[in-house]
Structure 1
Amino acid sequence: MVARWVLAAAYLAAGYLHIAHSAPFLRIMPPWVPFPRETVIATGLCELFGAIGLLIPRTRWWAGLMLALYALCVWPANMQHAINDLGSGTGLPLLYHAPRLLAQPLIIWWALYAGKVTDWPFGRRL
């Protein structure tokens, strides 16, 4: 399934960036998150393991579920990034942040679909 491979590639790239180039991610970390650098590294590892898990049939279901939960959990960092940028006027514009925040439910669904946790809306109707 192409959707699975595309999502896995995106999470592999994101995981690598979180680990190898963590500074930009540290800047968008909400202030209430403890151990920000370690959290960024941990999120990168989650992305890498989730991407690999999507490609292994035995772990695909769990990887899809965990990546969906992961996308839900990082939503506050994406919101913080938007607040920081839009509040200061020196960051990325609303034209970047609005689609990104609105796409988060789609990314959550995509992980569930790629992991075969759901086949909605393409599955059989009862």
Structure 2
Amino acid sequence: MTFLSRVFGAFMGYAGIMHFKKPKMFMRIVPPFLPFKKMLVIVSGIAEVMIGLLLVINKGSRMAGKMLTWLLLAVWPANVYMAIQNKPLKKGHKPMPLLLWIRVLLQWPMIQWARKIGEK
């Protein structure tokens, strides 16, 4: 599982960095009932970079798995909101409803995978 954990970590790290490069893109998908959109994007970006780094260097993987489980649960409402509103991540792009709902459904196996990483 180490190789896959590292790949997952690299993906999370990249996603976290993108929170800082394109914060408005991520702010678009924060559900309207949540305040402090920019702060939420920054905090989740920091968490993704930290978790990604821990997984890539294979240090603290157990803690990273637990953190990732909670992070994926925390951002799940944004993915549901995105699918319900049929919002593309980037403004001006064509929405793809099927892909948005697949993303929502795939989050649960990712959460289970993160839990397994956290248990080792």
Give the TM interval when normalised to the shorter protein: 0.7 to 0.9
In 1, are the aligned partners of 2:64 and 2:118 still within 8 Å (CA)? no
Pick closer, same or farther for the CA change 1:58–1:16 going to 2, 3 Å.
closer
Shift of 1:94: 2.0
Aligned to 2:90: none
Distance of 1:97 and 1:5 partners within structure 2? 25
For 1:13, the equivalent position in structure 2 comes to 14
TM-score, length basis structure 2: 0.85
2:110 to 84, 107, 110: 107
SS, match of residue 71 in structure 1? helix
Deviations 1:29-69 (A, max 9, x none): 11111210011011000000011122455521111011011
Compare CA radii of gyration and give the structure with the larger one. Answer: 1
- SS of the residue corresponding to residue 63 of structure 1 reads helix
Counterpart Cα distance in 1 of 2:5 and 2:40: 26
- RMSD of the TM alignment (CA)? 1.8
Q: Which amino acid aligns with 1:27?
A: R
Q: 1:58 to 1:10 in 2, by over 3 A?
A: closer
Distance 2:49 2:113 in 1: 16
- Mapped partners of 2:55, 2:18: distance in 1: 19
Q: Matches of 1:34 and 1:24 in 2, distance apart?
A: 16
Corresponding residue for residue 119 of structure 2: 117
What is the distance in 2 between the residues matched to 1:56 and 1:116? 15
SS at match of 2:86: helix
Q: TM-score, normalised by structure 1?
A: 0.81
Q: 2:10, 2:53 within 8 Å by CA — same for their partners in 1?
A: no
Equivalent residue for 2:24? 23
SS of equivalent to 2:119: coil
Q: CA deviation at 1:91?
A: 4.8
2:14 alignment partner AA: A
CA distance in 2, matches of 1:110, 1:6: 13
Cα distance in 1 for partners of 2:57, 2:30 equals: 31
